[in-house]
Amino acid sequence: MSASRGLFLSFEGIDGSGKSTQAALLDERLKAAGHATLRTREPGGSPGAEEIRRLLVEGDPDRWSAEPELLLFTAARRDHLEKLINPALARGDIVITDRFADSTRIYQGATRGELRATVDTLHSLMIGQEPDLTIIVDVDPATALERGLARGSGEDRVEDFGLDFQEKLRAGFLALAKAEARCKIVDGDRPPDVIAEDVWALVTERL
């Protein structure tokens, strides 16, 4: 982390993994330690991206085919970067995002139509940056699916694809962690406070 640029952190994992809880706990702990932080999420974050989020996470699972869904995610991410993430990094803040480009790589690229090459091309053209550290919270897919549906948030479009889909997503995230040095796995099948200690160790190592 340089004096002129902040640190960019992302949390990834299947829906219901507990990554959002860990992002919030990390944000609180960093603030308590005196760091300026920005906690955000994808899809969403900026006002424009939040509008696109509603199109993506609500409604029938078959509302979008893979190609238009990928374009919507990319549009939301570009607006998120321009309006929120990059200005915060320029101020020297620590940015914590609940999901980033890796989710698109796994959800749309690896599991919906074999679009990985298209995902990578769009990312290179329109986004062009990665987090400094990505923490993947790994949990049993059946447990995660139960948690996700229990929330009753109305944003159940992904959970409605079922357990087989969740298992494919988990395999995709684990493969990504093997391929990308910035990705670190934490065991999410433990109490949140125990997981948080592992997360803190990873982040303070980068700080």
List, for residues 32-82, the tens digit of each pLDDT value. Answer: 999 999 999 999 999 999 999 999 888 777 788 888 989 999 999 999 999
Peptide bond just before 43 cis, omega within 30 deg: yes
**Residue 2 pLDDT:** 47
**Residue 23 pLDDT:** 98
Residue 17 in tokens: 């993994």
Enter the pTM of the model: 0.88
The total of other beta-carbon atoms located within 10 Å of residue 73's CB is 25
Examine the pLDDT at 176 and tell me if it is beyond 90: yes
Average pLDDT rounded to a whole number, residues 161-175: 86
Burial label for 59, CB within 10 Å (0-12, 13-18, 19+), is middle
What's the topology of domain 7-206? Rossmann fold (3.40.50)
* Cβ burial 114-148 (10 Å sphere, 16+ → b, else e): ebbebbeebbeeebeebbbbbbbbbbbbebbbebb
- Provide the residue ranges of all domains of the chain, joining segments of one domain with +: 7-206
- By the 8 A CB rule, do 148 and 16 touch? yes
Average pLDDT rounded to a whole number, residues 141-167: 66
Average pLDDT rounded to a whole number, residues 127-150: 87
Binned at pLDDT 50, 70 and 90, residue 153 comes out as very low
3-state helix, strand, coil in the chain (%, to 5): 55, 15, 30
Q: What percent of the chain has pLDDT over 70?
A: 88
